[in-house]
């Protein structure tokens, strides 16, 4: 309810989750709301802590103040990621989002470590903690506030598919779980179960550590260079195929810089077209992709010439071979040059680690099946080509 109102009030175009401006508005909203909630929780714990002179409560209050750091990184990350491109960074600053989410993940690792250390200590030296009931009610109130914040962050993080915000969500959720352990420990020692504190703490810190590990992994992948999603590849293929004259699409390469995509691909057109006609088709594919994918694409044109008498038999032979080979490789750009003897040339895409014998074996089988083939040249494509 409140979350929806916040989004409607502070995000100009809530349906736009791709543009860097809209993402930044979502991200900064989550960051500032988190800062505000944590400051309220800080005061709500500090004031009673000072009044009754409870060191534990005052320390917990300052822990909540420390949580602001994670949300500050979110705000910082989205502010920088939104910056337009400049001379040094022509692809823009979208990948700063990944760096920010790595920082948030490392803060989460730190939280898991500190909490785990304290909990193991409690495990070996359990000491009963006593607290008045009003403290339980206060803790419950802060827990509910943090749980609302966690859910708000999760909704925003999922909406714009942002690892930074999902990291901040995990931070809020870990605080909720930690507070729940404190409450369980307070109730536990009233019931004569002093071990609840340590055991609960170890379980929760293990959980936080696992979330932190997943977040580190997810934020590092885009920086290393990750595989494009099958959905994106399918969408690009469909867009290219929707241009009249495009018979097939292959060799897609995609680079992602935050919301910006830079891609290249090959389109197969009839060899009977002249260069100007082929170029027109390539331009049309580029225009369609650039308009839909928010980025830049380069299209390479492959003329398909089926005139050679061996073209159709070799195509059928290769189709059968591909179905037989492990990992179901694909091939394209089949060209047959010369009469008798002739040359067979094509690209092979295995999208994996093919056995070293794959290419020579395949070439030998083609030559055995078609005695007039003098030479087979197979180009094995690298893994980032789809
Ligand atoms: Zn090609
Ligand atoms: Zn051109
Ligand atoms: Zn190729």
Quick: pLDDT tens for 334-356: 988 887 788 999 999 987 788 88
154 and 237, same structural domain? Answer: no
From residue 7, give the alpha-carbon distance in Å to each of 23, 97, 153, 159.
12, 20, 11, 11
Cα of 66 vs centre of ligand 2, distance in Å, is 54
372 and 318, same structural domain? Answer: yes
3-state SS, residue 193? coil
109 and 140, same structural domain? Answer: yes
For residue 286, the number of C-alpha atoms closer than 13 Å in the C-beta half-sphere is 14
Cα of 267 vs centre of ligand 3, distance in Å, is 10
ipTM of the complex as predicted: 0.81
48 and 176, same structural domain? Answer: yes
User: Which stretches within the chain are classed as H helix?
Assistant: 2-10, 20-52, 55-81, 96-124, 133-159, 163-190, 196-224, 230-241, 275-293, 311-324, 358-369
319 and 191, same structural domain? Answer: no
Which of 15-19, 47-51, 220-224 has the weakest average pLDDT?
A: 15-19
Find out whether 357 and 370 touch, Cβ atoms under 8 Å. Answer: no
What ligand has the least distance to the C-alpha of 284? 2
Cα of 347 vs centre of ligand 3, distance in Å, is 5
Cα of 324 vs centre of ligand 1, distance in Å, is 23
359 and 234, same structural domain? Answer: yes
CATH of the domain at 9: 1.20.1510.10
User: Which range has highest mean pLDDT (5-14, 126-135, 247-256)?
Assistant: 247-256
| Residue 254 neighbours by CB distance under 10 Å | 21
CATH of the domain at 303: 3.30.70.1350
Beta partners for residue 250, in sequence order: 266
Domain that holds residue 277: 230-380
3-state SS, residue 300? strand
Q: SS3 for 320-349, per residue?
A: HHHHHCCCCCEEEEEEEECCCCEEEEEEEE
240 and 138, same structural domain? Answer: no
81 and 34, same structural domain? Answer: yes
Looking at residue 381, the DSSP 8-state letter turns out to be P
**pLDDT exceeds 90 at position 151:** yes
**pLDDT exceeds 90 at position 116:** no
Q: Which residue, of 203, 224, 245, is where some domain finishes?
A: 224
Counted domains in the chain:
2
Q: Which residue, of 206, 224, 242, is where some domain finishes?
A: 224
263 and 175, same structural domain? Answer: no
Which of 74-78, 200-204, 308-312, 376-380 has the weakest average pLDDT?
A: 200-204
């Amino acid at each position: 309810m409140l979350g929806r109102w916040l989004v409607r009030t502070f995000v100009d175009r809530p349906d736009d989750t791709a543009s860097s401006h809209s993402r930044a508005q979502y991200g900064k909203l989550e960051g500032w709301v988190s800062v505000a909630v944590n400051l309220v929780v800080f005061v709500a714990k500090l004031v009673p802590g000072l009044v009754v002179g409870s060191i534990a409560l005052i320390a917990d209050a300052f822990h909540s103040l420390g949580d602001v750091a994670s949300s500050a990184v979110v705000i910082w990350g989205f502010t920088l990621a939104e910056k337009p491109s400049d001379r040094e960074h022509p692809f823009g600053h979208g990948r700063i989002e990944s760096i920010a989410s790595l920082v948030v993940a490392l803060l989460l690792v730190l939280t898991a470590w500190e909490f785990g250390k304290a909990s193991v200590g409690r495990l070996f030296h359990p000491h009963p903690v006593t607290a008045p009931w009003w403290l339980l009610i206060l803790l419950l109130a802060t827990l509910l506030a943090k749980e609302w914040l966690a859910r708000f962050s999760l909704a925003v993080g999922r909406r714009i598919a942002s690892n930074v915000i999902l990291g901040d969500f995990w931070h809020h959720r870990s605080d909720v779980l930690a507070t729940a352990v404190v409450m369980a420990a307070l109730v536990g020692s009233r019931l004569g179960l002093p071990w609840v504190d340590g055991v609960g703490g170890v379980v929760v810190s293990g959980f936080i550590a696992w979330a932190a590990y997943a977040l580190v992994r997810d934020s590092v992948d885009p920086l290393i260079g990750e595989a494009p999603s099958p959905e994106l590849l399918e969408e690009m293929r469909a867009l290219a195929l929707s241009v009249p004259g495009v018979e097939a699409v292959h060799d897609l390469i995609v680079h992602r810089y935050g919301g910006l995509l830079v891609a290249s691909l090959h389109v197969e057109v009839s060899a009977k077209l002249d260069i100007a006609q082929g170029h027109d088709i390539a331009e049309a594919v580029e225009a369609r992709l650039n308009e839909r994918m928010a980025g830049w694409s380069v299209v390479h044109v492959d003329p398909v010439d089926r005139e050679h008498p061996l073209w159709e038999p070799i195509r059928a032979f290769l189709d059968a071979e591909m179905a037989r080979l492990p990992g179901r490789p694909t091939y394209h750009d089949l060209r047959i040059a010369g009469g008798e003897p002739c040359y067979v040339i094509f690209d092979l895409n295995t999208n994996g680690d093919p056995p070293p014998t794959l290419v020579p074996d395949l070439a030998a089988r083609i030559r055995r099946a078609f005695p007039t083939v003098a030479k087979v040249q197979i180009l094995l494509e690298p893994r980032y080509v789809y």
